[in-house]
């Protein structure tokens, strides 16, 4: 069971969280023109990365905040966690 | 029967408490503190089971978790449990156990015929032997294998025992309380760390209980007892026995199973049988010790052949002799220690040592005691069927390849020591890349992956002095890092006899002309010849060899067999052992009961059961309940002998003619506040929300980004910046997360807060032509006329002194209202509605009538909004705003979603107006068309229309828009039904929707 540092609550076990997918996906702006190709990429196309990956988790049984977690998908090592509004630094 | 192999004045058992027990129906006695194994050996019983494949007689091989043979079926307090190791099961008064793997009984076993047919059961027998002819499989092979295989029988009864889960946090978790674990725990505890010390066995101390050593001025055993009693008094220490740390998971999550009641005849009241601990440890110290490994020789599975360390433990801990005429067969000094203990207790052992000229303090002591020592000698084969009677022994050449003349000597047990294998399972589970240590011929932990440190014998350190020193130091440093304290324990004087190096010998060659089985894996009956076959057949990877031969795959996970298996593969392949590598260690280290894993989450407790505040009223009024997610909801209120069909029809009809009341507390409710609340709703719902006035409700549909309908419901504007959203019962949690996702991540600029209020409000829907009359009587001070409270209107009212929210919304298609009060007042509200409604012939109605009402109205719900349909499919396209963007809008322009013949919801009526239509059935054009018959759609929901008094269903049908009036067939292969039907509008009742506005 992973041990995730919620930036609001501190170290908490995985069973308090729910997984929310790739954190690097950007939703197209409302009312903007989006091509089929770009929209498909936003809705459906995800990379199944092996290694470091920024992903979303929601602390559903805690503060209910969505957070960003940098995790190695192969080793489960967690390197960094950010609040929802904090930008991922590349 | 007397305990003729019990010694007097030796051992740690409680001789004041005699216990009676039965094995295979025979009554015996033992003492408190015995294991089932030690008590049986005390009574001279060595035949405990039959082997898995060949059904050869099997006895005891070890004295603890490493035991591969002595697996029994246990009977305790009216329950039975399979796969229990006799070496771990503590004796209690009235214990009963039987052998497994034998039929009809352990003395005469029909499966033993496999032993003579072993040519048919070589490596890979699972895969090739029973493959043909195919017809034989079901009739002959499978029933035979099922009868013959297995390690006992699981109970089919409900387990009455209670199992618990516990979460714990600590600075240091120490797995194993031998010398290393005790020293580590003591050093860390004295340095202020929060420590959990876990011991698998009943007694703490590990090898200190059996070794002839001194620490300070005390014997090893006294020192261990002193440390334990001191640790138990410290508030920062949890000391546990009968607790196996069996799994090392991610981020230093350790799982431990504590056997709280297994050693008692019966679980005490309010006690669990077992407890599963989830422990998050900052640091883990693995002090799991080592397991002696066997030397491989002919018939080395005969009862009476056992590990020399086990023989010593039976003697020193339990006061039991495993034999009166022992041979000790060893390649190192450990065998001598066992022989010395025999000698000190009046038994004359013979030592066969594979070494030519060992020199050490231990060897000298054995010589001084006058023990018969034969150097450069091996046991070639054990003789005897159900018990060792003699041994064929021989000199062995210096290159260990040639045997001399075979001599036969009498003996009643053979105690084997092939040196020690560190127990590295936990370290390996953690991800530690293990390395091969040539000095001890075994793998030891390498670089730590997580915060784990392996110490003592588990790390290949086999002297007490080195073990204590390294453990005290490591534990001080780790605890200092956590606590910043600086209390160091001074290192005690240690006295232990010095030993010399072991001989790398591990397998006795076969004598000329003999074909003895030489077993590597005792539990799965894997012999040297099986591994040879696997390699001959081309298997190379150790993982493949393992699976093909089943070497190391049994419940003991190869604790005694792995290394000898590797030695054999490396010898045949001419590789060094580290290049062969070992197979992956996976949790659990020892078997864990399913009960402990499941814990309290059994049956109804696997999920919480939620009940509305009106639940007890429903119960008192004969409600028949149904599970709706985690909620219990009334399905119908039974009157007399009514069945579901009759009862729900009566309730639905009463709604259409008079008035009904339905508990709608389970609906999800979300409170939305903030200046941008309307903007949020406008983006989340498909229709327009910016102009909804205060005091008005609106129906809305929300989509996922892929255009699929996520949920529907009404949202009411309570005040300027305050909205009350309802969701379906099933989607309540998802919708809240959905809103939070967009507010926190996508549109953080919106100034809105959302919070679930599902539990805060109790809800009752009153529906039917007389519902307004009823409402007026409930709220005499409010204007609830069609003008005062129009369709989709909202009022706050006073219900006999209780504050209430009144929504004019309808799910049934009738004139209807929903009343919400604070949950605590729910029952009050309900009783008032029933009381006041009496004059209007009110009846409560359940979910079945609720479904009927909405289906015949063509009101889509969960069975149509099933995660596969878009708004058009549900005839909700009128709610799609063209002027604004919303979540999922862009997806609706996708090709398939705008296809001319896109599926759409329709009504379905059987031509005979009688046959009810099974939900989930398919719609086809031609019922006799060849398979696969093209499917045009499916039945999503069915009811008996109370308005038309005939069956009616909703369906999602291809090109539904143009299918009204068509004749099709409903086919249900499951129910073997073919029903001719007509497609009609989904709005079967009140198609213009006049009633809700009346
Ligand atoms: Zn949190």
Per residue in B125-165, pLDDT tens?
555 555 555 565 556 555 555 555 556 788 888 888 999 99
Mean pLDDT of B234-251: 97
Touching check for A27 and chain B: CB below 8 Å? yes
DSSP structure string for B655-722: HHHS-EEEE-TTSEEEEEESTTHHHHHHHHBSS--TTPPTTBEEEEEEE-TTS-EEEEEEEEEEETTE
Query: Which CATH superfamily, name and number, covers B164-290+422-486?
Result: FAD/NAD(P)-binding domain (3.50.50.60)
* A contacts of B247 (beta carbons < 8 Å): none
CATH class, range B294-418+499-517: alpha beta
Nearest CA in chain A to B734: A60
- Residues B748, B639: Cα–Cα separation, whole Å: 54
Touching check for B746 and chain A: CB below 8 Å? yes
* pLDDT 10s digits, B186-198: 999 999 999 999 9
Residues with CB under 5 A from ligand 1 (ion): A 6, 8-9, 59, 62-63
- Residues B814, B124: Cα–Cα separation, whole Å: 70
Map out the domains of chain B as residue ranges.
Answer: 14-114, 116-142, 164-290+422-486, 294-418+499-517, 519-581, 611-666+760-857, 668-757+870-888, 898-998
Could you check whether B294-418+499-517 and B611-666+760-857 share the same CATH topology?
no
Contacting residues for B235 by C-beta, under 8 A, at least 6 apart: none
Cis amide linkage into residue B669, ω under 30° from 0: no
**pLDDT band of B747, cuts 50, 70, 90:** very high
Touching check for B249 and chain A: CB below 8 Å? yes
Residues 425-464 of B with CB under 8 A from A: 431
Q: Which domains are delineated in chain A?
A: 1-23+46-90 (3.30.2270.10)
Query: Maximum CA pair distance of chain B?
Result: 115
DSSP structure string for B47-107: --EE-TTT--EE----SSTT-SS-EEEEEETTEEEEEEETTTSBP-TTEEEEESS-SB-SS
Q: Can you give the pLDDT at residue B548? A: 84
- Residues B810, B990: Cα–Cα separation, whole Å: 13
Q: Can you give the pLDDT at residue B510? A: 95
Nearest to A3 among B280, B705, B894 (CB): B280
In this complex, do B744 and A3 lie within 8 Å of one another by their Cβ atoms? no
d(CA A20, ligand 1 centre) in Å: 15
User: How many CA within 13 A on the CB side of residue B368?
Assistant: 6
Q: Is the confidence at residue B101, as pLDDT, over 90?
A: no
Query: Which CATH superfamily, name and number, covers B519-581?
Result: BFD-like [2Fe-2S]-binding domain (1.10.10.1100)
CATH architecture entry for B668-757+870-888 = 2-Layer Sandwich (3.30)
User: For residues B441 and B563, is the Cβ–Cβ distance under 8 A?
Assistant: yes
Q: Which of B683, B719, B987 is nearest to B856 (CA)?
A: B987
**ipTM of the complex, rounded to two decimals:** 0.98
Query: How far is the alpha carbon of B686 from chain A, nearest alpha carbon, in Å?
Result: 13
**pLDDT band of B584, cuts 50, 70, 90:** confident
Nearest CA in chain B to A40: B891
Q: Is the confidence at residue B9, as pLDDT, over 70?
A: yes
Strands B71-76, B79-85: parallel, antiparallel or unpaired by DSSP? antiparallel
SS3 A47: coil
Q: Can you give the pLDDT at residue B815? A: 96
d(CA B746, ligand 1 centre) in Å: 19
Q: Which of B587-596, B597-606, B848-857, B943-952 has the lowest mean pLDDT?
A: B597-606
What per-residue string of b and e applies to B866-884 under the rule 16 or more CB within 10 Å gives b?
eeebbbbbbbbeebbeeee
Q: Can you give the pLDDT at residue B17? A: 97
CATH architecture entry for B611-666+760-857 = 2-Layer Sandwich (3.30)
* Residue pairs spanning A and B at CB distance below 8 A: 54
CATH architecture entry for B898-998 = Beta Barrel (2.40)
Q: Which of B993, B974, B986 is nearest to B943 (CA)?
A: B986
Q: Is the confidence at residue B1, as pLDDT, over 50?
A: no
Nearest to B250 among A2, A34, A85 (CB): A2
| Dihedrals phi, psi of B124, to nearest 5 degrees | 75, 15
Touching check for A33 and chain B: CB below 8 Å? no
Place of tokens 């009956």: B525
Mean pLDDT of chain B: 93
Touching check for A37 and chain B: CB below 8 Å? no
The CATH fold of domain B14-114:
Ubiquitin-like (UB roll) (3.10.20)
Touching check for A19 and chain B: CB below 8 Å? no
Mean pLDDT of A53-81: 96
Touching check for A76 and chain B: CB below 8 Å? yes
* pLDDT 10s digits, B929-947: 998 999 999 999 999 999 9
Touching check for B683 and chain A: CB below 8 Å? yes
In this complex, do B740 and A66 lie within 8 Å of one another by their Cβ atoms? yes
Contacting residues for B46 by C-beta, under 8 A, at least 6 apart: B40, B59, B60, B303, B304, B386, B387
Nearest to A76 among B250, B278, B740 (CB): B250
């Amino acid at each position: 069971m992973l041990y995730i540092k919620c930036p609001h609550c501190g170290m908490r076990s995985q069973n308090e969280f729910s997984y929310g997918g790739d954190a690097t996906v950007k939703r197209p702006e409302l009312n903007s023109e989006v091509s089929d190709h770009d929209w498909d990429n936003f809705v459906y196309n995800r990379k199944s990365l092996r290694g470091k990956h920024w992903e979303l988790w929601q602390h559903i049984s805690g503060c209910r905040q969505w957070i960003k977690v940098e995790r190695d998908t192969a080793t489960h090592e967690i390197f960094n966690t950010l609040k929802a509004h904090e930008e991922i630094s590349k | 029967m007397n305990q003729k192999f019990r010694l007097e004045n030796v051992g740690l058992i409680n001789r004041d408490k005699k216990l009676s027990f039965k094995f295979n129906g025979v009554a015996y006695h033992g003492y408190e503190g015995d294991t089932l194994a030690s008590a049986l050996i005390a009574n001279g019983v060595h035949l405990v089971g039959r082997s898995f494949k060949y059904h050869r007689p099997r006895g005891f091989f070890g004295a603890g978790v490493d035991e591969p043979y002595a697996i029994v079926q246990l009977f305790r307090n009216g329950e039975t449990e399979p796969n229990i190791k006799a070496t771990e099961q503590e004796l209690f008064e009235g214990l009963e156990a039987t052998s497994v793997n034998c039929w009809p009984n352990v003395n005469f076993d029909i499966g033993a015929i496999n032993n003579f047919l072993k040519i048919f059961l070589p490596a890979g027998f699972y895969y090739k032997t029973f493959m043909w002819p195919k017809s034989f499989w079901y009739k002959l092979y499978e029933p035979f294998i099922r009868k013959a295989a297995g390690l006992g029988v699981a109970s089919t009864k409900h387990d009455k025992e209670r199992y618990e889960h516990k979460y714990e946090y600590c600075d240091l978790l120490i797995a194993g309380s031998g010398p290393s674990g005790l020293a580590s725990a003591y050093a860390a505890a004295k340095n202020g760390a929060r420590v959990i010390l876990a011991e698998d066995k009943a007694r703490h101390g590990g090898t200190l209980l059996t070794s002839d050593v001194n620490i300070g001025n005390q014997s090893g055993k006294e020192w261990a007892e002193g440390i334990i009693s001191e640790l138990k008094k410290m508030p920062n220490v949890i000391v546990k026995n009968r607790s196996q740390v069996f799994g090392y998971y991610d981020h230093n999550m350790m799982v431990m199973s504590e056997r709280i009641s297994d050693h008692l005849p019966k679980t005490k009241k309010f006690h669990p049988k077992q407890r599963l601990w989830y422990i998050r440890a900052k640091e883990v110290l693995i002090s799991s010790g080592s397991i002696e490994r066997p030397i491989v020789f002919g018939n080395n599975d005969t009862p009476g052949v056992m590990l020399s360390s086990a023989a010593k433990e039976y003697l020193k801990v339990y006061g039991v002799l495993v034999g009166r005429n022992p041979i000790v067969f060893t390649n190192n000094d450990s065998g001598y220690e066992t022989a010395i203990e025999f000698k000190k207790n009046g038994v004359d052992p013979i030592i066969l040592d594979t070494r030519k000229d060992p020199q050490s303090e231990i060897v000298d002591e054995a010589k001084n005691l006058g023990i018969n020592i034969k150097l450069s000698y091996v046991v070639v084969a054990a003789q005897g069927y159900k018990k060792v009677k003699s041994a064929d022994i021989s000199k062995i050449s210096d290159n260990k390849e040639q045997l001399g003349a075979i001599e036969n000597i009498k003996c009643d047990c053979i105690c084997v020591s092939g040196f020690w294998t560190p127990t590295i399972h936990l370290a390996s589970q953690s991800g530690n890349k293990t390395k091969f240590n040539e000095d001890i011929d075994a793998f030891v932990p390498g670089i730590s992956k997580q915060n784990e440190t392996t110490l003592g014998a588990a790390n290949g350190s086999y002297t007490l002095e080195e073990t204590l020193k390294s453990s005290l130091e490591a534990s001080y440093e780790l605890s200092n890092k956590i606590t910043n304290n600086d209390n160091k324990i001074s290192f005690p004087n240690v006295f232990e006899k010095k030993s010399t190096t072991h001989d790398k010998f591990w397998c006795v060659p076969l004598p000329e002309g003999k074909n003895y089985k030489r077993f590597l894996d005792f539990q799965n009956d894997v012999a040297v010849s099986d591994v040879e076959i696997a390699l001959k057949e081309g298997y190379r990877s150790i993982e493949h060899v393992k699976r093909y031969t089943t070497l190391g795959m049994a419940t003991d996970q190869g604790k005694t067999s792995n290394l000898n298996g590797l030695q054999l593969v490396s010898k045949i392949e001419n590789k060094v052992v580290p290049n062969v590598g070992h197979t992956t260690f996976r949790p659990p280290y020892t078997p864990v009961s399913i009960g402990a894993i499941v814990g309290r989450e059994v049956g109804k407790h696997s999920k919480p059961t939620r009940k509305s505040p009106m639940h007890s009223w429903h119960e008192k009024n004969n409600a028949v309940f149904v599970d709706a997610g985690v909620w219990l909801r009334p399905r119908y209120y039974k009157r007399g002998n009514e069945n579901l069909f009759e009862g729900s029809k009566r309730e639905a009809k009463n709604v259409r003619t008079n008035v009904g009341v339905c508990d709608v507390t389970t609906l999800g409710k979300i409170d939305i506040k903030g200046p941008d609340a309307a903007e949020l709703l406008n983006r989340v719902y498909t229709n327009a929300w910016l102009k909804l006035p205060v005091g008005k409700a609106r129906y809305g549909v929300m989509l996922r980004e892929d255009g699929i309908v996520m949920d529907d419901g009404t949202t009411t504007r309570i005040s300027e910046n305050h909205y009350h959203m309802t969701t379906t019962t099933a989607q309540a949690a998802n919708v809240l997360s959905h809103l939070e996702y967009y507010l926190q991540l996508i549109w953080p600029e919106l100034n809105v807060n959302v919070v679930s209020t599902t539990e805060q409000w109790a809800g009752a829907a009153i529906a039917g032509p007389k519902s307004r009359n009823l409402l007026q009587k409930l709220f005499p001070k409010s204007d609830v006329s069609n003008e005062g409270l129009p369709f989709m209107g909202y009022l706050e009212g006073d219900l006999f002194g209780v504050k209430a929210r009144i929504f004019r919304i309808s799910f049934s298609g009738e004139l209807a209202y929903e009343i919400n009060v604070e949950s605590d007042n729910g029952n009050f509200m309900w009783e008032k509605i029933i009381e006041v409604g009496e004059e209007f012939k009110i009846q409560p109605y359940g979910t079945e009538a609720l479904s009927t009402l909405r289906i015949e109205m063509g009101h889509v719900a969960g069975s149509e909004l099933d995660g596969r349909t878009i708004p058009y499919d549900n005839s909700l396209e009128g709610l799609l705003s063209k002027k604004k963007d919303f979540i999922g809008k862009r997806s609706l322009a996708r090709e398939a979603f705008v296809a001319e013949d896109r599926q759409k919801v329709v009504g379905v009526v059987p031509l005979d107006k009688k046959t009810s239509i099974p939900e989930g059935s398919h719609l086809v054009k031609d019922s006799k068309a060849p398979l696969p018959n093209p499917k045009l759609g499916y039945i999503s929901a069915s009811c008996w229309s109370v308005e038309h008094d005939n069956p009616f269903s909703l369906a999602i049908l291809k090109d539904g828009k143009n299918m009204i009036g068509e004749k099709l067939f409903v086919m249900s292969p499951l129910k073997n039904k073919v029903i001719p039907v007509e497609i009609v509008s989904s709005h079967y009742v009140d198609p213009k929707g006049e009633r809700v506005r009346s």
